[in-house]
Every structure is written in C-alpha cells, then in structure tokens.
C-alpha cells in the first residue's frame, strides 16, 4: 500500500474514533467503551499483521546473511541490538493495546474500583521504553557521578530510572487525582 493510502486510512480511522468518542462522551449513545474503541482495535490489528510480516522478512534476510560473521563479541552485540530493534514496534503496539483494554475496563466497570496507576501502567512502560530506545539508539550521554563504572552500553538504564522517578513524583502529586476525578465524573453519570 502506498504511503499516501496508509496515511489517509490512518486519519480516517482516527476521525471515526473521535466521532464515536464524542458521541459517547456527549451521552448521545450508551455504547460499551469497547465498541467506541473499535476503530483503534482495527488499526492495531492491521499494524500487528504488518509489523509481524516485516519482522519475519527482516529476520529471514538477516539469517541468510549471517553465515560469514567474524564471531567477535561486537558482532553478537550488533545481532542482539538488531533483534531488539525489530521487536520494538511489536512491543509498542502490544503496550498500546493493553492500555486501551485497561482503560475500557476501568470506564465500563466503575464498581470494579481499578486504580488509575494500573490503568496507566502500560502507557508509562511505553513512554519509558520510548525514552530508553531514543537514548540507547540515538543519544549520546555524558559520564556523571552516577555512571562511574557503568558499562558503556547500559548508560540508558540510569536515564530510564531517572525518567521513571520523575514520572512517579509527577503522577503521585498531580495526575492520578485528576485521572480518578475524570473517570469518576463520566462513570457516575450513568
């Protein structure tokens, strides 16, 4: 499929989702939240198929060209990094889908009393993974006092840990009460 067709299809599904979301939030319909998210489920299913085919093709290509490796430790590290780069898009879609399932469950069953941090956990993992992958693949980090003695390939871990601690502080003080009040507002109107 051409790039223009994919972009138009993506925007069309997003538009349908936003229309369904507006109808549900405006209380013009009493649909299940899983029905409202059908355009996103459909888009994610297509993405999973597309990414799966792409990963299989890349692994098949890499396996065909791996016969003449040098056998050094650097070559093994490059193969591991290449493998993780192939699996990263798949994990992004799976984390996004798990966030949508948790959100729909929370919105559909207000009596279940699912805490907001359980709902937001896949999204936080997705954001932390995005920060870690950007720092690991594209960023350059300086050696400060927390990274003394750290192997060069694991410096992203300290940046990821710092990001998670900032996210925890921000969510404990501001985001979680707001998210609880927002969800409670829409679930008590039924």
pLDDT single digits (tens) 91-110 = 888 999 999 999 999 999 88
Residue 41 pLDDT > 80, yes or no? yes
Is this model's pTM higher than 0.75 or not? no
Q: Give dist(CA 85, CA 79) in Å, integer.
A: 10
Closest CA to 97 of 126, 118, 117: 126
SS3 label, residue 115: coil
CA–CA dist 100, 40 (Å, integer): 9
Structure-model confidence comparison of residues 97 and 180, the more confident one: 97
For residue 188, give every residue at least 6 positions away whose Cβ sits within 8 Å of its Cβ, in sequence order, or none: 110
Q: Which residues contact 171 (CB under 8 A, 6 or more apart)?
A: 117, 120, 124
At 27, list the tokens. 């209380």
Strand locations in the chain (E):
none
| pLDDT(128) > 60 | yes
Q: What are phi and psi of 57, to 5 degrees?
A: -65, -40
């Amino acid at each position: 499929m051409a790039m223009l067709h994919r972009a138009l299809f993506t925007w069309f599904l997003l538009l349908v989702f936003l229309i369904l979301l507006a109808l549900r939030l405006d209380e013009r319909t009493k649909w299940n939240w899983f029905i409202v998210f059908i355009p996103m489920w459909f888009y994610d299913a297509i993405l999973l198929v597309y990414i799966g085919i792409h990963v299989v093709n890349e692994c098949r290509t890499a396996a065909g060209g791996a016969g003449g490796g040098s056998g050094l430790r650097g070559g093994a590290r490059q193969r591991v990094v290449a493998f993780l780069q192939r699996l990263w898009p798949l994990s992004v879609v799976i984390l996004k889908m798990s966030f949508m399932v948790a959100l729909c469950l929370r919105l559909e069953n207000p009596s279940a009393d699912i805490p907001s941090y359980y709902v937001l956990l896949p999204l936080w993992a997705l954001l932390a993974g995005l920060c870690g992958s950007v720092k690991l693949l594209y960023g350059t980090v300086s050696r400060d006092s927390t990274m003394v003695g750290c192997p060069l390939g694991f410096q992203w871990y300290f940046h990821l840990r710092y990001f998670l601690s900032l996210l925890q502080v921000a969510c404990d003080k501001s985001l979680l009460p707001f998210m609880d009040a927002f969800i409670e507002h829409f679930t008590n109107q039924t």
